[in-house]
Amino acid sequence: MSWRLDRVLCVLVLGLIIPRVGLPQSQTAKTGSPARRQSRKANATNSLRTIPPVLRAKLGTEQGSNSVSGIWMDSYNYLWTLDQAASGSISGTVNVGESNCPSPIWSVAGSITGNQFTLTATNPTGGDFECVTSFTYSMVIASPGVATGTWVNTDGVSGSVTMTESSEPAAAVIPSNVDFGSVTTNHTATRRLTIQNVGSPGSLLVGFVSSPSPPFTITEGAGAFSLASGATATVTVGFQPSTTGTFSDSISINSNDPLSPTVVPLSGTADLLTTVTVWVDAFIPWNQFGPIAVLPTDFLCFLAPSVPCDSLPEPLSGVDIAGDGRLFSSQTNASSRVHWLETFDANTLAPIVYSTGAGISSLVEATTGATLATAQGSSTALISYPSQLAPGLVSVSVSGGGTFGFLSGIPFTPAINVNATFIIDLTNRECQLVGTYGGFPAFEAYVQGNSDPPVALLQQNVGPEAAWFFELPLLFFSNFHTLAGTMVPF
């Protein structure tokens, strides 16, 4: 009996003098952590951390053996829920808490033999550019309640790790701070927090989430909460500034965690919507126009006087028109057959950039794709200046189109036509595209506020029409595709 009492007292003393290990303020949970890929600028073989690897393992004195069953938080703020079977196998989950990982909850499998155990966490989405496929912790229990360990991930990056188990209710909040970045005035951005009770099994975390001051709000999860061991609650935070400037506040989570309160800093910047850019591109997604456009050289020269027949090499089995050879792209300078673009001042509506026109056509050898000659396509493309429909609501219209430089004048060849209108809500930063567009080739349309990422309003490949070359021009020159888009935030 006395040896058990001494052992219990030793564990209690250790629990009092060894604090719960958190992530030091000088270290970042986003860089070089087990789940995330290392920066391409760094050496992938170097460890980014030298954290003293101390894992406080639960000691199963009832069975006279080591046990890692329980809930843990490590030095990367990863939350582990582990269950050890009598056979020594370990299963569970880990919340890696990485905002750029498609899924934060990864499956865990491992085993323990004597005083050594391993844990392998597997990404449910299989890995991507941001997050690795899996990572493994290798641990050794050096003395009762203490273990040392290292990690390595499938990118070959490795490091040291610290994990801790609480003997009482403990609140963990992911992420530990919220930065909304830059948001346009009168526009709302939202972020989510997760609160989890990472205390020992059987503990109950009871607390209250306080609301921040405007322009920050809590749209979900404010007020009281009660969480059993391992349970989570979601808090949704909104940022809706009405004036420009830099804002900061915090959310306080008060609970029966001995380290309460947990304070989550909030920050964000509000900018005015100063410029709006809208554009439409019509392009050929294939490298060449298509086999149906391959014509004997003499026949093409007879039909199209613009073809420089005298300068073409002989013999040629056939010629073709080069396409743009690309997928949909939000780049304003992407290759296109016809292009409409306008940037205007969101306050005065004055145009800043105005651009329309047809792209360069290339005549190519049908088999090799070698360029034989180039010509400028003709264009009737027009884009209107912004027109105010109501306070804060404006429209920009695009019309016309163009033809291919070397196909001009050839009967029954397709032309590009668009007749559409951007309806732009400057107050709520929303845009709608309505109108019509033709049956050839592929079309895309975008809207962009300031220098923010462009938002696609149209991405449609409508050609080639199977029999366009043999049908009446009216069928393919008319705009028979209808646009009836809804308001889309940008």
Residue 253, domain CATH: 2.60.40.10
Residues 154, 210 within the same domain:
no
Q: Is residue 433 part of a domain?
A: yes
- Range list of H helices, 267-327: 297-303
The sheet carrying 146-153 orders its strands as 158-160, 146-153, 134-143, 116-122, 105-113, 89-95, 79-84, 70-74, 163-164
**DSSP per residue over 75-136, as a string?**
TT--EEEEEE-TTSEEEEEEE---TTSS-SEEEEEEEEETTEEEEEEE-TT---SSB-SEEE
Which has the minimum average pLDDT: 19-28, 142-151, 443-452? 19-28
Residues 240, 217 within the same domain:
yes
Residues 393, 378 within the same domain:
yes
Better pLDDT: 467 or 48: 467
Maximum CA pair distance of the chain?
109
Residues 264, 376 within the same domain:
no
* Domain final residue pick, 111, 141, 164: 164
Residue 67 tokens, joined: 């046990």
Pairing of strands 245-255, 262-271: antiparallel
Q: What's the pLDDT tens digit per position in 367-386?
A: 777 888 787 777 888 999 99
Strands (DSSP E) found in 216-359: 216-220, 223-228, 232-239, 245-255, 262-271, 275-283, 319-321, 338-345, 351-358
φ/ψ bin of 83: left (φ > 0), alpha (ψ from -120 to 50), beta (otherwise)? beta
Residues 334, 327: Cα–Cα separation, whole Å: 10
| Contacts of 302-307 spanning 24+ positions with Cβ under 8 A | 303/409, 303/410, 303/411, 304/406, 304/407, 304/408, 304/409, 304/410, 305/409, 306/375, 306/405, 306/406, 306/408, 306/409, 307/363, 307/373, 307/406
Q: Is residue 58 part of a domain?
A: yes
Better pLDDT: 21 or 393: 393
Q: Is residue 121 part of a domain?
A: yes
Which has the minimum average pLDDT: 35-39, 83-87, 193-197, 343-347? 35-39
Residues 333, 404 within the same domain:
yes
* Domain carrying residue 236: 171-269
Band (pLDDT 50/70/90 cuts) for residue 194 is very high
* Domain final residue pick, 138, 164, 190: 164
On the question of pLDDT at 422 being above 70, the answer is: yes
Band (pLDDT 50/70/90 cuts) for residue 300 is low
* Domain final residue pick, 220, 243, 269: 269
pLDDT at 461: 76
On the question of pLDDT at 320 being above 50, the answer is: yes
Residues 484, 364 within the same domain:
yes
pLDDT at 258: 81
Residues 366, 460 within the same domain:
yes
On the question of pLDDT at 303 being above 80, the answer is: no
* 304 CB-near residues (< 8 Å, 6+ apart): 406, 407, 408, 409, 410
Query: What is the mean predicted confidence (pLDDT) over 12-40?
Result: 43
Q: C-alpha angle 434/339/352, rounded to 5°?
A: 85
Query: What is the mean predicted confidence (pLDDT) over 295-318?
Result: 66
Residue 170 tokens, joined: 């403990």
Band (pLDDT 50/70/90 cuts) for residue 168 is confident
Residues 203, 131 within the same domain:
no
Residues 257, 182 within the same domain:
yes
Residues 227, 224: Cα–Cα separation, whole Å: 10
Q: Is residue 21 part of a domain?
A: no
Residues 144, 252: Cα–Cα separation, whole Å: 36
Which residue matches tokens 């952590």?
33
If one counts the domains in the chain, the total is 3
* 48 CB-near residues (< 8 Å, 6+ apart): 31, 32, 38, 42, 157, 159
Q: Is residue 317 part of a domain?
A: yes
Q: C-alpha angle 61/63/67, rounded to 5°?
A: 70
Out of 89-103, 158-172, 226-240, 365-379, the most confident range is 226-240
Rg (CA), the chain: 32
Residues 133, 223 within the same domain:
no
Band (pLDDT 50/70/90 cuts) for residue 134 is very high
Residues 211, 236: Cα–Cα separation, whole Å: 11
- Residue 4 in contact with residue 144, Cβ under 8 Å? no
Q: What's the pLDDT tens digit per position in 39-66?
A: 433 333 333 333 222 222 333 333 345 7
User: The domain that contains 143 carries what CATH number?
Assistant: 2.40.128
Q: Is residue 5 part of a domain?
A: no
Q: Is residue 11 part of a domain?
A: no
- Residue type (1 letter), 485: G
Taking all residues of the chain, what is their mean pLDDT, rounded to a whole number?
Answer: 76
Which residue in 80, 154, 62, 170 sits closest to 117, CA to CA? 80
On the question of pLDDT at 406 being above 70, the answer is: no
- Range list of H helices, 132-210: none
Residues 105, 103: Cα–Cα separation, whole Å: 6
Residues 151, 264 within the same domain:
no
Residues 460, 367 within the same domain:
yes
Query: What is the mean predicted confidence (pLDDT) over 18-33?
Result: 39
Which has the minimum average pLDDT: 17-26, 196-205, 314-323? 17-26
pTM of the model: 0.50
pLDDT at 405: 65
On the question of pLDDT at 18 being above 70, the answer is: no
**DSSP per residue over 219-237, as a string?**
EES-EEEEEETT-EEEEEE
pLDDT at 297: 64
Band (pLDDT 50/70/90 cuts) for residue 280 is very high
